[in-house]
Amino acid sequence: MIHDSDTALILVDLQRDFLPGGALAVDDGAAVVPLANGLSRRFSNVILTQDWHPAGHISFASSHAGHRPSNVITLPYGPQVLWPDHCVQGTEGADFAPGLDVPHAQLVIRKGHHAHIDSYSTFYEADHHVTTGLTGYLRARGIRRVVLAGLALDFCVGWSALDAARDGFETFVVEEACRAIDTHGSLHRAREDMARAGVRPLTLTEAGI
């Protein structure tokens, strides 16, 4: 499966701001980087994603007077967790993680670049209608199976997996090569949602790592 031309590995948001010392650090996030490097060597088709927010993005707590990071508000497209300013376009925090070594990646998808809507998923904005174009790219390439890893499991990886399954791709997540934020029960909910959607686990051993 892993070497098949119809399978793609999607490495989600391995960026400085999600690593220790970053604006939105994920616990143990740096441990994912060498695992991602190892995984990437097992796939001929690899895609990288980047959170790529404009300054003043709607998901930033600083954009909402009286609110703090981790507060949840309701926006036209639904509930929105508010975050510290992170992965702002052109800043060091938006850069790929030091040590990420995936020279054969064929595509970088930038998401969250619309100022008034968030995008956890690599496939769709948070309204589930505006697309990043990734589904069309994968179909044009004849990809029918995707494997996901990266940061964070309960947000960008999980939402991407749900949308991949919804769009008809056979979908796997390598949880060992992910880390989670786990706020407001998000990790438990993400795992339940992925299982219900038919997203399947893939271990590092099964991936040949």
User: Which residues have a catalytic role annotated?
Assistant: 13, 111, 156
Burial of 17 by CB count in 10 Å (0-12 exposed, 13-18 middle, 19+ buried)?
buried
Q: Reduced to 3 states, what is the DSSP secondary structure of residue 135?
A: helix
What is the token pair recorded at 57? 């993005």
- In this structure, the number of other CB atoms found within 10 A of the CB of residue 95 comes to 14
Q: Distance between CA 57 and CA 115 in Å, rounded?
A: 5
Cβ atoms of 47 and 106 closer than 8 Å:
yes
CA pair distance 189, 6, nearest whole angstrom? 30
